[in-house]
Structure 1
Amino acid sequence: MTRYSKSILGVAVALAIGASGYAWAQAGDPALTAAIAAGQVGEQADGYLGVAKPVSGDVRAAVEALNIKRRAAYTDQAAKHGVALREWAATIGCQTLRGRVRTGQAYLLPDGVWRVKDSSPIALPANCG
């Protein structure tokens, strides 16, 4: 993917997730929202949620259900924009890591190490540009 197409994709992602984009990620499930706030569940650089610490079966099921919804949305948007699913999901992951992970929330970079967001910016992976 060229630098120009990455810029276009970045704009498309921003429009696709919009201001309320993160809300769809956890809407309607207080247990999942609490697990995210507690750093038990977090965002991953690949665009999906992951389990950072032990959680209940209900929370794990909520993470899996949400990831299924994300994959469906990513598949649709990737097809509309003519990019690979993995590329689209990773771009969303970059956007999420860049602007939606809050202090105290967990996140996972491609190195496989779960971290907890502090007041400093997240050191984004190279593919985030």
Structure 2
Amino acid sequence: MISNYIVVMIVKPTPDSQRFCPYDWIGFQNKCYYFSKEEGDWNSSKYNCSTQHAVLTKIDSNEEMDFLRRHKCSSDHWIGLKMAKNRTGQWVDGAKFENSFVVKGSEGCAYLSDDGAATARCYTERKWICRQKIH
């Protein structure tokens, strides 16, 4: 005897659901993220985010780091962190980097790779990740 089942799933909308983010952006924890398809140096990537009323992404938690690593393609992506020679860092919003994760390398601009965060020369061409808060 063949039985038919109907499975009903109730999904409670959350503030970060996709409907609050622009087309081609992904929602997560009250923020929207854009993973670029094109490449640019760190400064042009920062500028491209600003033209979309966003910033190069900041990473506030391990959950956010995991989300970003899951959703980026295999390419490296610029993030909004600059590192000084003494290994102190500053986010594009002016906040001090609190060393909440390891940043490999000794160059000035940070990017996200499959292995985590690292630095490179700022003129290197990479994809980038923009972030904007959901209003």
TM-score (norm 2): 0.29
> Using CA pairs below 8 Å that are at least 6 residues apart, which structure has the higher relative contact order?
2
Higher helix share: 1
Higher strand share: 2
